[in-house]
Structure 1
């Protein structure tokens, strides 16, 4: 799949044309400062409480178009650390989005991997047993299905449903083109007109 066209468009534009429930919670952010934007195919992973074994399994099932999306119910353990980030990076996996915590921030940054999470904690997660694979998860308040398109950067993270990806891409490209052609001067004029219209409505 050609993901470059999705990656060209920032999450704010995507959020303008997608339903609101397709944008992940503001709590999930880049775990270190980076400006890179990534677009990839969602590989959903669900962890059992305090057990991160399924994330380690997913690493070897992902490919160079994958973004690993992790649902975890724990805020007591890190889902990944520096060694895992380095491994994911070496395997050319696009990135990982964790609805939870990570650790080894310096090593994660040195790996160059795009990691999004709620925060960090020094405590490592446990690896006890594997559970069943899932086709969908709830990550950051969004239902993420295997194969959906994920676009993520420092502006936020959006999920584009696979079955509507072409329609949404066309809408986003048109909206992006229109946005880029609108100067700040033109925007100011329209903005003032909008406020005047709202004032008129209020008086009515």
Structure 2
């Protein structure tokens, strides 16, 4: 049987969001460095102080292939939580993505790695390594509560978090939504009469 992670990889974040009524979308300011980036994996959570990324290094060291390293840095955009060297290590260790509610740096070099990085933007300032922070603890990232092991999915539209307790339910609803969207598209695309019927039905509600 195909793993639940692989099934989520084939579903747009918009469908997953709809399946959860939009309640678990990370801040829309968190975007991929490249539009083609998409990923799905389990959260390896990082809570760190603003301007300190030692906990990120610990997360990379403890990561398993497929993990999504997701970092709560309180939305800070002044100091980068990672540059190309740190991102390269995460890629080599087999992580599937890095998601941060803050900034990164070395943009051109990171893009050359072709590794999914989602952030609020870029900066030139580096983080320090005082050591404040924890991994595999509950965090808030992009305004959403995330537990270690939750499924995180990202694509060009943004990032969604799926709590473990409802992951199968969300998968089923998202697959159903995707199938209905595809059926609707095939029925009305390029068909003026079907478009009119659809719009009449929506406007009559």
- How many residue pairs align between the two structures? 196
* Cross-structure match for 1:50: 51
State the shift of 1:158 in Å.
0.6
* Cross-structure match for 2:69: 68
Secondary structure (helix, strand or coil) at the match of 1:60 reads helix
The Cα offsets for residues 41-96 of structure 1, whole Å up to 9 and x where unpaired, read as 01110111211111110001111121011111332200000111111111221001
State the shift of 1:129 in Å.
1.6
Structure 1 residue runs without a partner (length 5+): 199-204
TM-score by length of 1: 0.90
* Cross-structure match for 1:78: 80
* Cross-structure match for 1:202: none
State the shift of 1:134 in Å.
4.8
The whole-number CA distance in structure 1 between the counterparts of 2:56 and 2:152 is: 18
* Cross-structure match for 1:4: 6
Structure 2 residue runs without a partner (length 5+): none
RMSD between aligned residues:
1.6
Listed as ranges, the matches of 1:50-129 within 5 Å are: 50-73=51-74, 74-129=76-131
The whole-number CA distance in structure 1 between the counterparts of 2:173 and 2:163 is: 14
**Deviation >6 Å, runs of 4+:** none
User: Does the 8 A contact of 2:137 with 2:147 survive in 1?
Assistant: yes
User: Does the 8 A contact of 1:89 with 1:112 survive in 2?
Assistant: no
Q: Which residue of 176, 179, 200 maps to 1:192?
A: 200
